[in-house]
Amino acid sequence: MPVPETSVPETPVPEIPGPLVGSDWLAERLGGVVVFDASVGAHRRAPVRIPGARPFDLDGALSDHTAAAPHTMPSPADFAEAMCGLGVHDTDAVVVYDGAGIYSSARAWWMLRAMGFDRVAVLDGGLPAWVAAGLGVEAEAAAYEGPRGSFTARPRPGLLVDAGVVAGALADPAAAVFDARSRERFAGTAPEPRPGLRGGHMPGALNLPFGELQGPDGLMRPAGELREAFGALAGERDRLFFSCGSGVTACVLALGATLAGYGRTAVYDGSWSEWGMPSELRPVVTGP
């Protein structure tokens, strides 16, 4: 009598509970989710990673290097190809972290959402919080070498916007444009780190440095405090746009606004790397 075939049941994919998850939540589900390390700059050279983490390279393939501004969103086709190359499927759950805490991981979260993928969250506090919790790490891997995925890009154009849309928002009394850069850069009293850019800010922009959305422990502040931080500047306006130096930390503001309950939000992809270039069409003011 033939022996019936048996199959090993697949590990169920966890439901992502919201845009932010803690280290304990991820530790309990490690192996059932795709984990991305979206560190940039010096933090990309961290000697350790969360076990199994794959590189979400914002300094490399996951930016459009034909664009004038750094960290520009790739085309939908290029983004989908990158995700397939990193083994991501449409049915996966994804958690993104970075080595600085919450700095560039929110950019990866926002990019995935802009491509129609909602099963993604940011790890609260990033790698520092994971290590502080005494959770395991492993040596950093140079590249992902696993099987390809089957990711489908479904672009949502309104989540990443251009200078024209931002100019319209600056003139719209129902909208608020936030700048995530430091107060010194916003005022034009500190030099810009990228050559050729003017100092100062967009006329009418509101300054909310991204680090102010995090507590001394590096974790995002509670939703009520985040709502208060945005409301103190925007008042009753609920259509929010976010800018920064190159479209990275603007996404930390987008994350904070989402946690605070705002639903009508967008990130200026070119940010100050585009607006700050000499141009009569993009005015700049200095001072607080």
Burial class (CB in 10 A: 0-12, 13-18, 19+), 148: middle
The DSSP symbol for 100 reads T
20-155 and 158-275 share one fold? yes
Buried b (16+ CB within 10 A) or exposed e, 219-249: bbbeeeebbebbeeebeebbbbbbbbbbbbb
pLDDT in tens, 252-276: 999 999 999 999 999 999 999 999 9
CA distance 26 to 90: 20
pLDDT at 4 over 80: no
pLDDT attached to residue 6 = 31
Q: Pick the catalytic residue from 96, 108, 240, 244.
A: 244
pTM of the predicted structure, to 2 decimals: 0.94
CA distance 218 to 122: 13
CA distance 126 to 218: 8
pLDDT in tens, 82-115: 999 999 999 999 999 999 999 999 999 999 999 9
pLDDT attached to residue 43 = 79
pLDDT attached to residue 132 = 97
Q: What are phi and psi of 36, to 5 degrees?
A: -115, 135
CA distance 257 to 253: 6
Across residues 223-245, what is the average pLDDT?
98
| Residue 251: active-site member | no
Residue range 158-275, CATH number = 3.40.250.10
CA distance 256 to 20: 10
CA distance 239 to 252: 16
Whether 23 and 101 have beta carbons less than 8 Å apart is answered as no
pLDDT attached to residue 2 = 39
**Those residues with Cβ within 8 angstroms of residue 32's Cβ, 6 or more apart along the chain or in another chain:** 11, 12, 13, 14, 93
- Beta-sheet pairing, 160-161 with 264-268: parallel
CA distance 206 to 208: 7
The CB density around residue 13, as the number of other CB atoms within 10 Å, is 15
Domain regions of the chain by residue span: 20-155, 158-275
pLDDT at 202 over 90: yes
Whether 76 and 156 have beta carbons less than 8 Å apart is answered as no
CA distance 152 to 198: 39
Q: Which of 129-133, 143-147, 281-285 has the highest mean pLDDT?
A: 129-133
Q: Determine the number of helices (DSSP H) and then strands (DSSP E) in the chain.
A: 9, 12
The CB density around residue 174, as the number of other CB atoms within 10 Å, is 10
- Beta-sheet pairing, 48-49 with 138-139: antiparallel
pLDDT attached to residue 10 = 57
pLDDT attached to residue 79 = 98
pLDDT in tens, 12-51: 789 999 999 999 999 999 999 999 999 998 877 788 999 9
Starting at the edge strand found earlier in the chain, the sheet holding 34-37 runs 20-21, 120-123, 94-97, 34-37, 54-55
pLDDT attached to residue 42 = 80
Residue range 20-155, CATH number = 3.40.250.10
More confident: 188 or 6: 188
pLDDT attached to residue 119 = 98
Q: What are phi and psi of 161, to 5 degrees?
A: -125, 165
